Structure formats: structure tokens, C-alpha cells
């Protein structure tokens, strides 16, 4: 990589596919390895010591240190390497075309735009980084768009080495210090197959599942909404995917739905979403089982943290806010490493069929991170 400005850097990042392979990538060019390798070479050219820690086969975290581990306080700038899938995109996902003052392509907003802004700031201040009283590392996580294994692993191995984490996400440069958690789970109903001409001889799994989902929508949704937060609002339920059956002339013996519950701090403190889901299924005797539940914590980093003050000062008017989505920051915070999310770009463009970032926003992001890193010279 040999960019002359932050826009060219972003284009180079987008042109290296790093699609998360776990959820229908829509391309055979998936995985974070190629991007991690390219970044490693570029960061080493800036003077960083770089480690690649493989979390899943061919899917590493990247850790770049510009200053030795000599006891000084350390913070990290941490975007994620992976993007969501590219199936159904209305544009070439990897062309990184410039048009109408924007860079277009998968990851331009979420989250290679914030990544490029962070990296360009480090490039511009590379001569200072070794001597700053607060060491600044660059950490890029794998797997954020599915299981967040990268940030989970990093928190266990390295979290105690840091005082603060600045996670790159498209927040329009607002400081997001509150986020909801999430529970993803599959609900499975089973039945008995039969010929469709004699449906009374079978047991229709689709009907069992859909009737159970209707009960959950009526009973669980208001129960979740009762767990309120003054900024984040209530916990929510989304039934996002449903599948079942094999042919119209066969009574289906299996049906599944995938759900997403967003978790407020109040719900987490009360025992979490899985406990409430299990209780609702039990109390209403619903004919479904919970398969592969995956729960992530909410994040609530105190607004009074000194690094948040630095971020607000560097932002020149950016807001301190919360968000209903989830990120790697929550796993770091849950492990005891205070974290926030911030970066250029709008969450409204993330994951879209025509994803883009405004070049002006990208340049503002690079300037913001430059002010943040440069300001650390004052201690």
C-alpha cells in the first residue's frame, strides 16, 4: 500500500475483500487474513512492531505497537477487519469508486472508513508515537460481524495492558459510551412428516413455530420493553429469519427462526435476555427449543472518564451519546477495559446495498484522530 492521502488509503483497504465468512458472505473472497497481512506490512513501514494472532484458521487479530511496553499508560485505536456480506449489493463492492464526493463500496462506512482515519492519523504522527507519555497502539479485530471472537480473545489476553480503548465505528464522530447488548438465538420446532394429501397424519413444525412466535411477539416484546434506560430506551425483539419444510406436498417436520434481542443494562442486571426468553417459553408451554444462544453484554462507560473528556475536546463539538447497536467495545468494557466507539461516517450507511462514506467526513475523521493523538503529547 502506498497511498498519498486518507481517501486513497480507504480505497486500498476496500479493494482488499475481508468479508466475514460466517453469515452468507456472497463471495468466495472472504476472511480477514489478506487485509491483516497488507496492514501489517504498511504499519511496519511506519515503524510499528506488529503481531498477528490467529483466532480462527486464517483469521487473525492484528496488534501494532509504536512504543515499547515500558510501563507507560497505553490506549488503543481499534476498528474491526471484517465486513458484512456483499450479496445483493447494487454497486461493485470492492471497486472503491469515487463519485459525488463519496467513496462507494463494502466497508467504506463500516468500518474501513474509521480504520483509514485512525491509520492516517498514526501515519501523520509517526515521528512522535515512540515518545508520547501515553502509548498508542493500533489493534484490528477479526469477527466483529458475527461472534466477536477477536475482541473476546484480545480482552482475555491483553486487556489488562491498556487503560482505554477507542473502537472505530461510524458514529458521525460522536462519542458513543452507551450501547445495548444482544442475544442471537435459534428457535427450533420439530414435527412429523407426512404426505400433504393427508396432513392429519403429520405434525406441522411450521405451524407450531409460527404460533409460538406469535405468542413471543405478544408476551415477550412488552416484557422486554419494560427494561428501560434513559438514553437507550427499552430492550427489543426482532424475528429476523425463518425457514422450514422442503416441499409443498410434504408436511414439514422441522422449522427454525433466528431472533435478535437487544439488551439494556437493566435487563442484563436482571439476569439477561436468555433467562427471560427461557421463562416465557416455559410459562406458555411453547413447543420450541433454544439452539445456539449467543449473548453479548451492553456497554456503559462512565461519562466522567478522562479519556472521554479528551475525545470531546478533540472533536470540537461532537456529542456524548448512546446507540442501540452492539460492537467490540462492549466485550472490552465487560472485561474491565473502558471503551467507547467513535469514527467518521453514519450508521445509516452501514450494511447497505450501496454503502458509501462522504470524503469530507473521512477527512474530518483523520483530522479528529490526528488531534487526539497529537494532544497526548501534553500527558
Mean pLDDT for each 10-residue chunk of the chain (379 residues)?
94 98 91 98 97 97 96 97 96 97 98 98 96 97 94 97 98 97 97 96 98 98 96 96 96 97 96 97 98 94 95 91 94 97 96 97 98 89
**CATH at 273:** 3.30.70.360
Residue 339 grid coordinates: 471503551
- In the block, which residue shows the cell 494532544? 375
Residues 21 and 86 in one domain: yes
State in Å, rounded, how far the first CA of the chain is from the last one.
32
Closest CA to 16 of 139, 99, 155, 115: 115
Residues 26 and 156 occupy one common structural domain: yes
| Cut 0.85: pTM above it | yes
Residues in a beta bridge with 263: 181
Task: Extract the C-alpha cell encoding 10.
Answer: 480507504
- Residues 302, 292: one domain? no
Tell me how far apart the alpha carbons of residues 275 and 230 are, in angstroms, rounded to a whole number. 23
Residue 177 has a pLDDT of: 97
Domain-terminating residue out of 296, 329, 353: 296
Cβ neighbours, 10 Å, residue 51: 14
Domains in the chain: how many in total?
A: 2
- Contact (CB, 8 A) for 3 and 65: no
| DSSP code, position 352 | -
Q: What's residue 23's pLDDT?
A: 78
The verdict on 50 and 171 lying in the same domain is yes
CATH of the domain at 346: 3.40.630.10
Cβ atoms of residues 180 and 231 within 8 Å: no
The two beta strands, 289-296 and 135-140, are unpaired
Q: In sequence order, what are the beta bridge partners of 192?
A: 203
H/E element, 156: helix 149-158
Give the Cα separation of 40 and 101 in Å (integer): 29
Pairing state of beta strands 339-342 and 164-168? parallel
pLDDT at 379: 64
**What range does the domain containing 305 cover?**
6-179+298-378
Amino acid at each position: 500500500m502506498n497511498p498519498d492521502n486518507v481517501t486513497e488509503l480507504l480505497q486500498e483497504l476496500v479493494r482488499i475483500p475481508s468479508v466475514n465468512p460466517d453469515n452468507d458472505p456472497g463471495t468466495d473472497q472472504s476472511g480477514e487474513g489478506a487485509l491483516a497481512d497488507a496492514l501489517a506490512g504498511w504499519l511496519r513501514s511506519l515503524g510499528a512492531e506488529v503481531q498477528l494472532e490467529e483466532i480462527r484458521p486464517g483469521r487473525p487479530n492484528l496488534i501494532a505497537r509504536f512504543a515499547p511496553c515500558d510501563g507507560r499508560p497505553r490506549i488503543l485505536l481499534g476498528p474491526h477487519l471484517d465486513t458484512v456480506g456483499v450479496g445483493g449489493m447494487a454497486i461493485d463492492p470492492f471497486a472503491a469508486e469515487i463519485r459525488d464526493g463519496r467513496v462507494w463500496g463494502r466497508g467504506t462506512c463500516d468500518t474501513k472508513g474509521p480504520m483509514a482515519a485512525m491509520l492516517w492519523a498514526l501515519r501523520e504522527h509517526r515521528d512522535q508515537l515512540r515518545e508520547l507519555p501515553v502509548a498508542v497502539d493500533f489493534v484490528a479485530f477479526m469477527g466483529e460481524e458475527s461472534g466477536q471472537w477477536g475482541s473476546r480473545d484480545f480482552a482475555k489476553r491483553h486487556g489488562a495492558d491498556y487503560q482505554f480503548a477507542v473502537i472505530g465505528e461510524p458514529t458521525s464522530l460522536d462519542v458513543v459510551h452507551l450501547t445495548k447488548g444482544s442475544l442471537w438465538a435459534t428457535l427450533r420446532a420439530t414435527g412429523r412428516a407426512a404426505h400433504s394429501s393427508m396432513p392429519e397424519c403429520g405434525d406441522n413444525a411450521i405451524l407450531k413455530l409460527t404460533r409460538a412466535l406469535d405468542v413471543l411477539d405478544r408476551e415477550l416484546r412488552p416484557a422486554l420493553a419494560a427494561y428501560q434506560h434513559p438514553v437507550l430506551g427499552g430492550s427489543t425483539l426482532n424475528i429476523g429469519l425463518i425457514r422450514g419444510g422442503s416441499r409443498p406436498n410434504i408436511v414439514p417436520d422441522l422449522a427454525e427462526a433466528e431472533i435478535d434481542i437487544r439488551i439494556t443494562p437493566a435487563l442484563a442486571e436482571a439476569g439477561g435476555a436468555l433467562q427471560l426468553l427461557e421463562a416465557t417459553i416455559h410459562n406458555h408451554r411453547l413447543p420450541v427449543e433454544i439452539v445456539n444462544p449467543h449473548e453479548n453484554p451492553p456497554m456503559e462507560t462512565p461519562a466522567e472518564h478522562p479519556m472521554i473528556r479528551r475525545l470531546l475536546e478533540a472533536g470540537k463539538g461532537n456529542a456524548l451519546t448512546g446507540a442501540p447497536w452492539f460492537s467490540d467495545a462492549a466485550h472490552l468494557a465487560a472485561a474491565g477495559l473502558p471503551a467507547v466507539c467513535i469514527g467518521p461516517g453514519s450508521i445509516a450507511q452501514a450494511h447497505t446495498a450501496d454503502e458509501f462514506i462522504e470524503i469530507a467526513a473521512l477527512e474530518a475523521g483523520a483530522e479528529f484522530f490526528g488531534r487526539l493523538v497529537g494532544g497526548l503529547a501534553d500527558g
